[in-house]
Chains A and B, each alone.
Chain A
Amino acid sequence: MTAEGIESPSEPAVLVHGLRKAYGPVEALCGLDLRVEPGAFLTIFGPNGAGKTTLLKVLATLTRPTEGSALVGGKDVVRHAGAVRKRVGVISHNTYLYPQLTALENLEFYARMYRVSAGRERALALLTKMDLGRRMHDRVGTYSRGMQQRLSVARALLHDPKLLLLDEPYTGLDQHACRVLADVLEGLRDGIRTVIMTTHNLQEGLAGCDRAAILVEGRLVFDQEVTNIDASGFQHTYFSCVHAEVPRA
């Protein structure tokens, strides 16, 4: 960043160097290096416990690294946590929505917390975009899982973040809801907004991204542009990286 809100075009959206995160004796991330350019869509694959969520938590300022550094838009996630939070939107299998509040009340609450100017108008526009306008006055507790996840996307986009972190966003969704969410995420690819998604679902993960990486035991063991990847070949690569057998069709 050259100044607040003005990003240098050459500056990476995410720059991680020697990142290590330990929870007591357990190392979740072991000296990770990563560079993501603005506008890129990176999917990080990995089995459970690989460190995917920990990496996103560090980038989202929810947890501090034990060692190393992580910059988002040139801002350090520890020293400039407030500035990083303004730039980052998170979509997870946890929706971060209050079931007792209506959809509109949830978005208005988060708009106030993110200090979004004209928060109500922005919330209404996003509810319409996510096709939730007709039920915006209903409590979120009455929503289906798919509707909650769409509302969660609206919540994450309220402050127009430059970096979107998606942590297993398809978890718990049925096929239809997955398709709807995939369409919504596809619509976010504008070449300006950077997206980092973690998943262990190869098909869904590869569908939207332009770069794929594999994280195993806190280390990136694979990182390539998707144009160079053949889907079936990637499946073999993935299972060989995680030391597992390729499932039979």
Chain B
Amino acid sequence: MAFLSQAWAIVRKDLLTELRGASTIVSMVLLGLLVVLVFNFGAEPGADSAVLARSGVLWAAFLFSGVIAVGRSFASEKEAGCLDGLLLCPADRGAIYLGKLIGNLILVFATGVVILLFFTVVYNVGIGAGWLGLLLLLVLASVGLSTLGTLFAAVAAGVRARDALLTVFIFPLLVPLVIAAAHTSTLLLAGQSLGDAGLWPWLLVVYDAVFLAVSFVVFDFVVED
């Protein structure tokens, strides 16, 4: 019970801090929308290549904006000198990780929804009955990105070139997630159901489960001075 209560205290604190500063969420949304818009201008309207590439655009926008959120989550703790304050608390390191993860997850998912809505407007995509599948896909991708991102953000927090370090490590590891999400969403946008996507959604589930388990195990060592 204390575990969850402490994790929730961190989630609440992070969201309150973010809502008052609003710098991260504004950057995330703007970058996401910009990526969608720029790719749209680069493609010839109605061309087959544009139709095929649109899933990639959606997940590229999601990826770039998501990395901003996770990168800022520990950087802001470090800047205020608060990371040590957090680590001094008699809380399980898992509770601290879970709190930071859920805070990031909410930001990443919310931004993902905004990007998805903007994407449907810009690309004139009728989601139709596939909206539930896309939302579920967004949840799975958000969990994967937040899980990995929170862990690596903690690693990078103590390093001067943290933004460069974070992107160098995180982008290659997120490639399977983006491929699986793009394949699945291509089918969903073509009017097929999640069940027609075969193993791709399951790849995301396994990806999330593996990195979630690994992150809980190694987080204690990661935040060790």
Taking Cβ atoms with an 8 Å cutoff, the residues of A that contact B are 57, 60-64, 82-83, 85-86, 88, 90, 92, 94-101, 105, 109-110, 112-115, 139, 155
Contacts and interface: CB of A to CB of B under 8 A. Distances in A.
Given A85-B89, A86-B90, A100-B20, A94 B81 contact: yes
A109 B85 CA distance: 11
B128 to A, nearest CB: 41
B16 A100 contact: yes
Given A97-B80, A100-B21, A105-B16, A60 B224 contact: no
Size class of the B contact interface (CB-based, 8 Å): 20 to 34
Contacts of B82: 96-98
B9 A62 contact: no
A100 B81 contact: no
Interface of B: 2, 5-6, 9-10, 12-13, 16-17, 20-21, 80-82, 84-92, 224-225
B90 A115 contact: yes
B88 A109 contact: no
A85 B88 contact: yes
Contact of A113 (B16, B80, B84, B89): B89
Contact of B225 (A57, A92, A139): A57
Contacts of A88: 88
B98 to A, nearest CB: 13
A62 B12 CA distance: 24
Contacts of B86: 96, 113
Which one of B12, B20, B224 has the highest number of Cβ atoms from chain A below 10 Å of its Cβ?
B20
A101 B89 CA distance: 18
Contacts of B10: 113
B91 A96 contact: no
Contacts of B224: 63-64
A61 B13 contact: no
Given A85-B90, A113-B91, A94 B17 contact: no
A90 B88 CA distance: 8
Given A62-B225, A82-B90, A95-B81, 16 more contacts: A57-B225, A60-B88, A61-B87, A61-B88, A62-B87, A88-B88, A96-B88, A97-B82, A98-B17, A101-B17, A109-B12, A110-B85, A110-B89, A112-B6, A112-B9, A113-B86
B124 to A, nearest CB: 40
Contacts of B12: 109
A63 B225 CA distance: 5
Contacts of B13: 98, 101, 105, 109
16 contacts: A57-B225, A61-B88, A62-B87, A62-B225, A63-B224, A85-B89, A85-B90, A88-B88, A90-B85, A94-B85, A98-B82, A105-B16, A109-B9, A113-B6, A113-B91, A115-B2
Contacts of A96: 80-82, 84-86, 88
A114 B81 contact: no
Contact of A94 (B20, B21, B84, B92): B84
B213 to A, nearest CB: 22
B103 to A, nearest CB: 13
B221 to A, nearest CB: 10
B92 to A, nearest CB: 8
Contacts of A155: 85
Contacts of B87: 61-62
Nearest to A93: B81
Nearest to B90: A85
A100 B77 CA distance: 12
Contacts of B90: 82-83, 85-86, 113-115
